[in-house]
Amino acid sequence: MEQITEQNFRNLTREQRGQLIAQKYRIRRTDKGYEVPSQFNKGKYLVKVRYDKKECNCPDYELRKCKCKHIHAVEYTLKKEIDKEGNTVITQTVKKTYPQNWKSYNISQQTEKEKLMELLADITSRIRQPAYTYGRPRSNLGDNIFAMVFKTYSTFSGRRFATDMNWALEKGYIDSKVPYNTMFDYFKKPELTPILAKMVMLTSLPLRTAESKFNIDSTGFGTSNFQRWYSFKHGKEICSRRWVKCHFVNGAKSNIITSVKITTENDADCPQLKEMAQDTAKYFNMEELSGDKAYLSKDNFELVNSLGGTFYVPFKSNSKGSGNGMIWKKMYHFFMLNNEEYLQHYHARSNAETTVHMIKSKFGDRVRSKLWTAQVNEVLCKIIAHNICCVIMEMNELGLESNFCPNSQIVARNV
């Protein structure tokens, strides 16, 4: 059974195309009939609904004089029921919406910056200072990481960020001011990468009781680096911008990111699932994990099942139900025989796109750093800032406490 999407549009019937239009676009009722938006153009078509006939002014209906996809879209929106007495009752389906809690949202946005500094200082204060060996004493490691994350949150350059740094010093969130050149040097340290990855996990823990369904996906962040190569196929030199690939697992409710892994743009998605799913299952009750076709494999099904969860991923058109183990066979037949129910679980994966939009719209879709290690650390700082913002939102909406595990400390050695 093929999934109903616009990617396989040519293989769909007119009725299936009408369902897509009804689900994706708004069909507006007017005095003359129903205005149905064109699926691929900017115009609209008028569908006139009568008890004995339905008409549309689209070219397909005028040519065939049969139901077109626009009529099917209106029928999908309107359900007609005829009782025993012959009375016709038309019930209009109402799409389920999720209204914003504007009171909590407004409070979160107005106090987010100051609350972020408070929570970030709480986390960085747990970072143990490396043991002093010899030479000039190094600046406080926690203050430097605080400056890195706060600077990434502000989206300012290092020099323009100096005012915010002075503000944090006056508030007592750091012990001493971090010069921007020192902050840039710490972005380049590979020893900070595991510490920042640990902070991603720590910032997600306040929501460990609220999340049980997760999504896995990846996204890219642009850089200022370019790569060039000669294409023998096209007979010319090709230039493209390099980018950093961020693999992540996020909660379906709060969009919190529980595990993250940074790779180059050429690394595949499927092999990254094992490590991130295991890290998430250590602290969260992972009942479901959803991913796109890039994560489809026998090993991934068995891994998620061993962690106590169910992996929902759409099967490819050439997938078969035999030869890949019992878990694969079970989910394949579930997908084929109960496709609608299966896709309802898989639909939670769309929240991964929301998470990506939240990060890129607030903190930018590119990194300022030029060196690879600095780019990795900068992306991790974006994720940490995003997680803290999610925690602040849930504190105001659900009344959660920002408990970042008081007994845990991040061990920093040889930094």
Would you say 329 and 315 are in contact if contact means Cβ atoms under 8 Å apart?
no
Question: Residue 407: inside a domain, yes or no?
Answer: no
Q: Which of 39, 61, 92 is the C-terminal boundary of a domain? A: 92
Q: Which of 363, 378, 410 is the C-terminal boundary of a domain? A: 363
Instruction: Give the CATH number for residue 349.
Output: 3.30.420
Say yes or no: 220 and 321 in one domain. yes
Rounded Cα gap, residues 375 and 369, in angstroms: 5
Q: In terms of pTM, does the model score above 0.85?
A: no
Question: Residue 408: inside a domain, yes or no?
Answer: no
Number of domains in the chain: 3
Question: Residue 97: inside a domain, yes or no?
Answer: no
Say yes or no: 12 and 88 in one domain. yes
Say yes or no: 156 and 290 in one domain. no
Q: What's the one-letter identity of residue 414?
A: N
Separate counts of helices (H) and strands (E) for the chain: 14, 11
The closest alpha carbon to 175, from 210, 140, 149, belongs to: 140
Would you say 319 and 332 are in contact if contact means Cβ atoms under 8 Å apart?
yes
Q: H or E segment at 299?
A: helix 298-306
Q: What is the DSSP letter of 127?
A: B
The closest alpha carbon to 174, from 120, 221, 222, belongs to: 120
Q: What is the pLDDT of residue 414?
A: 41
SS (H, E, C) 47-69: EEECCCCEEECCHHHHHHCCCCH
Say yes or no: 225 and 342 in one domain. yes
Question: Residue 413: inside a domain, yes or no?
Answer: no
Rounded Cα gap, residues 292 and 315, in angstroms: 9
Segments forming the whole domain that contains residue 343 = 211-363
Q: What's the one-letter identity of residue 116?
A: L
Q: Which of 92, 127, 149 is the C-terminal boundary of a domain? A: 92
Q: What is the pLDDT of residue 92?
A: 56
Q: End-to-end distance of the chain based on CA atoms, in angstroms?
A: 55
Question: Residue 112: inside a domain, yes or no?
Answer: yes
Say yes or no: 122 and 45 in one domain. no
DSSP letters spanning 129-184: PPPP-SSSPPPPHHHHHHHHHHHHHHT--TTTTHHHHHHHHHHTSSSS---HHHHH
Q: How many CB atoms lie within 10 A of CB 387?
A: 28
Rounded Cα gap, residues 259 and 237, in angstroms: 38
Q: What is the DSSP letter of 318?
A: T
b/e sequence 331-349, b meaning 16+ C-beta within 10 Å: bbebbeeebeebeeebebb
Say yes or no: 220 and 132 in one domain. no
Say yes or no: 190 and 226 in one domain. no
**Hey, is 83 helix, strand or coil?**
coil
Q: What is the pLDDT of residue 411?
A: 42
Rounded Cα gap, residues 382 and 152, in angstroms: 6
Q: How many CB atoms lie within 10 A of CB 305?
A: 16
CB neighbour list of residue 235: distance below 8 Å, 6 or more residues apart: none
Q: What is the pLDDT of residue 87?
A: 59
Say yes or no: 255 and 384 in one domain. no
Question: Residue 108: inside a domain, yes or no?
Answer: yes
**Hey, is 224 helix, strand or coil?**
strand
Rounded Cα gap, residues 241 and 107, in angstroms: 39
Rounded Cα gap, residues 348 and 253, in angstroms: 9
Say yes or no: 372 and 348 in one domain. no
Question: Residue 156: inside a domain, yes or no?
Answer: yes
Question: Residue 1: inside a domain, yes or no?
Answer: no
Q: Give the pairing of strands 288-290 and 213-231.
A: parallel
Say yes or no: 72 and 146 in one domain. no
Say yes or no: 371 and 330 in one domain. no
Radius of gyration of the chain (CA): 26
| pLDDT tens sequence for the chain (415 residues) | 455 565 566 678 888 888 888 888 888 888 888 999 988 788 899 998 876 688 898 888 887 888 898 988 888 887 644 445 655 555 555 555 667 788 888 988 899 999 999 999 999 988 888 887 777 778 889 999 999 999 999 999 999 999 999 999 999 999 999 999 999 999 999 999 999 999 999 999 999 988 999 999 999 999 887 777 677 777 888 777 788 999 999 999 999 999 999 999 889 999 999 999 999 999 999 999 999 999 999 999 999 999 999 999 999 888 888 878 899 999 999 988 888 888 889 888 889 999 999 999 999 999 999 999 999 999 999 999 999 999 999 988 888 777 665 555 554 444 4
The closest alpha carbon to 368, from 204, 205, 151, belongs to: 151
Q: What is the pLDDT of residue 79?
A: 63
Sheet holding 44-49, edge to edge: 28-29, 34-37, 44-49, 54-56
Q: What is the pLDDT of residue 207?
A: 92
Say yes or no: 28 and 115 in one domain. no
